[in-house]
C-alpha cells in the first residue's frame, strides 16, 4: 500500500486539537518521521467545476486512485474517463472540499469512517441514490449499519482495516518459545522482547485501555491515567514509537514484534513467510474506508456508476489484492488471491468484531488529557 495509515489514525486523535506539543518532540528521535508529509497538498491540481459527463474526477487514497487496471476497465465498461488525484490524510481532503464551497471539481471521494461523520455534519456530502446502486446487495449487511453512517445514507464502506501484531516467527520462537495471541503477551514477556508501538496516542493508549477493560474512546481521566501507568511498565521493551519504520528491522530480526496497521503488515507478510500478522484474541481497533459523493459534484450519474462498479465482486477483489485490506464485499471474499485469503487476520470474525472498538472523535478537553499522558509516556516524565 503506497499511503500509510499513520496520518489517518493520528488525525483521528487530533482532529480538533493542536498538535504543537507533540510535534515538537519529533526531533527527539522517539517518533518516526516521513519527509513526504511536508509535501502534503503541494501538488494541488485544480479540477474543472463544470464537467462533461464523460469524465469522472476522483479524490482518494493512492491505493484507490492509482490502480490503473481498475480505472481502465471502468472506462471500457462505461465510456467514462477517470482522472484520479491522491491525498495523504482525510484532513487534506476535508480542507480542500471546505475551501471550495461544494465546487471542488471532484465527484467521488474516499473518506475514512470517522471523517464521514464530520463531513455529514458539515453538510459536505450528497445523499446516495440507492436505485442507481444495484450492486449494493454485494456489501455485507452489517457494514451498512455502522455508527458513522447508519443505513449508508451518504457512504458505502469498501475496505476494512485493523490494528494488530506483526512479528518475526523465528526470532519469537528462538527467544521466547511461544507465539503471541493477544496484547497481554507484551507484558508477559516484556523483559525479553524488543518491540515498536505505532506513533499514535489514541491507538496506543486505546490498546492499554482495552486490556484494562475500558473503551478505546473513554473520557474518564482516571482510566486514561491507568492506561498510562500500564504502558509505562512496558517501556523497557519499546525500541521506538513508529508507524512506518519497523518493516526492515522486523524482517531482519532486530525487532521481534510490532504494533502495526493491517495493510502494511499483511503486505509484508505476503512477501516474507517469516512474518506473521495476527489480531489479538481479546479484540482491537477496526476501521473502514468508504466511498462517497461530495456536495456540489458535477457528475452525479458518473459517480453512481463508479460506486456501483467498484461494488462488483471481481473489482472489489482486485482492490483488496492491491492494498492488502479486507473487503466489505461478501462475494469478493472468494475471489481474492490465495496468498491473501490464507492470512487469517485479513478480516476479523464477527466474534472478534464484537470484542473490538472503533476510534471515534473526542472533545478537545478530553484529547488534552490523552495528549498530556502521551507526552509523559514518550518523554519518560513522571
Cβ atoms of residues 83 and 47 within 8 Å: yes
The model scores a pTM over 0.85: no
Strands (E), the chain: 55-60, 81-86, 108-109, 155-168, 195-197, 238-241, 257-261, 275-278, 286-292, 326-327
**What pairs with residue 116 in β-bridges?**
none
Is 161-285+358-379 the same fold as 34-160+289-338?
Answer: yes
Question: Nearest-5° angle of CA 229, CA 372, CA 213?
Answer: 40
pLDDT at 48: 65
CA angle 266, 147, 319 (to 5 degrees): 30
187 near 234, Cβ under 8 Å? yes
Which pLDDT score, from 0 to 100, does residue 49 have? 67
Instruction: Report pLDDT for 46.
Output: 73
Per-residue pLDDT at 270: 95
296 dihedral zone (left: phi>0; alpha: psi -120 to 50; beta): left
User: What's the pLDDT at 91?
Assistant: 81
Residues of the chain with pLDDT under 70: 1-44, 48-51, 381-382
- Ordered by start, the domain boundaries in the chain are 34-160+289-338, 161-285+358-379
pLDDT at 20: 36
The DSSP line for 3-32 is S-SHHHHHHHHHTTS--HHHHTTGGGSSB-
Distance (Å) of CA 187 to CA 93, 101, 180, 323: 39, 50, 11, 31
Cβ atoms of residues 82 and 306 within 8 Å: yes
The CATH class of the 161-285+358-379 domain is alpha beta
What is the DSSP code string of 336-357? S-HHHHT-GGGS--HHHHHH-B
In the block, cell 479486507 appears at 326
- 74: which 3 cell numbers? 471502468
Closest CA to 187 of 166, 164, 208: 208
Cα–Cα distance, 65 to 54 (Å, whole number): 17
- Report residue 118: phi and psi, to 5°: -65, -45
What superfamily would CATH give domain 34-160+289-338?
Periplasmic binding protein-like II (3.40.190.10)
For residue 44, the model assigns a pLDDT of: 66
Residues in the chain: 382
Q: How many Å apart are CA 306 and CA 119, to the nearest integer?
A: 20
Amino acid at each position: 500500500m503506497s499511503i500509510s495509515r499513520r496520518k489517518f489514525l493520528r488525525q483521528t486523535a487530533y482532529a480538533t486539537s493542536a498538535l504543537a506539543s507533540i510535534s515538537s518532540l519529533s526531533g527527539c528521535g522517539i517518533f518516526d518521521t516521513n519527509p513526504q508529509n511536508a509535501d502534503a497538498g503541494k501538488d494541488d491540481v485544480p479540477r474543472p467545476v463544470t464537467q462533461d459527463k464523460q469524465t469522472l474526477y476522483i479524490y482518494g487514497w493512492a491505493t484507490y486512485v492509482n490502480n490503473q487496471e481498475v480505472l481502465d476497465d471502468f472506462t471500457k465498461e462505461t465510456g467514462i474517463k477517470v482522472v484520479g488525484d491522491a491525498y495523504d490524510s482525510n484532513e487534506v481532503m476535508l480542507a480542500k472540499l471546505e475551501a471550495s464551497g461544494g465546487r471542488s471539481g471532484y465527484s467521488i471521494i474516499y473518506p475514512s469512517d470517522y471523517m464521514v461523520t464530520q463531513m455529514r455534519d458539515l453538510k459536505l456530502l450528497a445523499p446516495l441514490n440507492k436505485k442507481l446502486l444495484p450492486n449494493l446487495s454485494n456489501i455485507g449487511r452489517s457494514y451498512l449499519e455502522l455508527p458513522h453512517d447508519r443505513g449508508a445514507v451518504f457512504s458505502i464502506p469498501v475496505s476494512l482495516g485493523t490494528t494488530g501484531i506483526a512479528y518475526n516467527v523465528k526470532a519469537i520462537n528462538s527467544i521466547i518459545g511461544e507465539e503471541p495471541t493477544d496484547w497481554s503477551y507484551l507484558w508477559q514477556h516484556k523483559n525479553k522482547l524488543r518491540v515498536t508501538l505505532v506513533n499514535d496516542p489514541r491507538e496506543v493508549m486505546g490498546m492499554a485501555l482495552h486490556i484494562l477493560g475500558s473503551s478505546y474512546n473513554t473520557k474518564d481521566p482516571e482510566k486514561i491515567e491507568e492506561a498510562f501507568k500500564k504502558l509505562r511498565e512496558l517501556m523497557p521493551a519499546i525500541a521506538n514509537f513508529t508507524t512506518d519504520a519497523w518493516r526492515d528491522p522486523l524482517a531482519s530480526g532486530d525487532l521481534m514484534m510490532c504494533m502495526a496497521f493491517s495493510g502494511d503488515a499483511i503486505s509484508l507478510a505476503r512477501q516474507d513467510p517469516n512474518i506473521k500478522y495476527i489480531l489479538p484474541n481479546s479484540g482491537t481497533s477496526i476501521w473502514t474506508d468508504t466511498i462517497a459523493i461530495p456536495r456540489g459534484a458535477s457528475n452525479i450519474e458518473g459517480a453512481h456508476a463508479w460506486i456501483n462498479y467498484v461494488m462488483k465482486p471481481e473489482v472489489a477483489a482486485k482492490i483488496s489484492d492491491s492494498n492488502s485490506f479486507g473487503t466489505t464485499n461478501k462475494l469478493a471474499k472468494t475471489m481474492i488471491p490465495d496468498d491473501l485469503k490464507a492470512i487469517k487476520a485479513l478480516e476479523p470474525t464477527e466474534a472478534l468484531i464484537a470484542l473490538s472498538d472503533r476510534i471515534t472523535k473526542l472533545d478537545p478537553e478530553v484529547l488534552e488529557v490523552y495528549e498530556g499522558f502521551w507526552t509523559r509516556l514518550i518523554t519518560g516524565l513522571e
